[in-house]
């Protein structure tokens, strides 16, 4: 089965975040729930790396996860 996207370990490595942080961001609504393989592995789209870079920059600037979630949701829905 071919997969198009990144497994959680690949996202963690490329973003510098832990798998636990990625699951937390998913639970908090910052990341959309990724699709799953037949065996249950999370498969994230490549665009997730841009979202995570934004979140990391926002955290460095002092934004809370709730504030970042609200911004990401606005962006995801296309609202300005």
Report the pLDDT averaged over residues 18-26.
96
* pLDDT, tens only, 33-69: 999 999 999 999 999 999 999 999 999 999 999 999 9
Q: What is the 3-state secondary structure (H, E, C) of 12-70?
A: HHHHCCCHHHHHHHHHCCCCCCCEECCCCCEEECCCHHHHHHHHHHHHHCCCCHHHHHH
7 in helix, strand or coil?
strand
Q: pLDDT at position 1, please?
A: 42
Band (4; pLDDT cuts 50, 70, 90): confident
Q: Does residue 77 surpass a pLDDT of 90?
A: no
Q: Please give the model's pTM, rounded to 2 decimal places.
A: 0.87
């Amino acid at each position: 089965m071919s997969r198009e996207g990144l497994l959680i370990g690949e996202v963690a490595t490329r973003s510098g975040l832990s798998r636990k942080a990625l699951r937390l961001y998913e639970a908090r609504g910052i990341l959309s729930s990724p699709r799953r393989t037949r065996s249950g592995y999370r498969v994230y789209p490549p665009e997730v790396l841009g979202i995570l870079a934004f979140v990391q920059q926002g955290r460095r600037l002092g934004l809370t996860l709730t504030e970042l979630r609200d911004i990401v949701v606005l962006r995801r829905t296309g609202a300005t």
